[in-house]
Amino acid sequence: MIRISICVGSACHLRGAHGVLNAFIALIDKYQVQGAVDLEGNFCQGYCTEGVVIKIGNEIITNVSQEKVYDLFAEKVLGRDGT
């Protein structure tokens, strides 16, 4: 099980956390990996100027935009690079 946490604190919210969350939901649905991914919202992670901040497992990833979600998903969840 891979845990993906998306910061939904106010700074990340303003930077598009909702779009990032929706992009992950769409990909989880598309690839039918509901049983392998635990997606959750998280409160402020303390990197507000570098939002959107997400956490995959124990790894904190900053400056995530909706456009970057597919590459992250492919690398971390599907286990391949974004090409």
Tell me how far apart the alpha carbons of residues 71 and 76 are, in angstroms, rounded to a whole number: 8
Of 24-32, 40-48, 70-78, which part binds ligand FES (CB under 6 A)? 40-48
Residue 5 pairs in a beta bridge with 40, 55
Cβ neighbourhood burial of 73 (10 Å; 0-12, 13-18, 19+):
buried
Running DSSP on this structure, what letter comes out for residue 67?
G
Nearer to ligand FES, 32 or 49 (CB): 49
Which residue's CB comes closest to ligand FES? 9
Q: Using the rule CB under 6 A, is 5 a contact of ligand FES?
A: no
Q: Using the rule CB under 6 A, is 7 a contact of ligand FES?
A: yes
Q: Which of 51, 56, 64, 69 binds ligand FES (CB under 6 A)?
A: 51
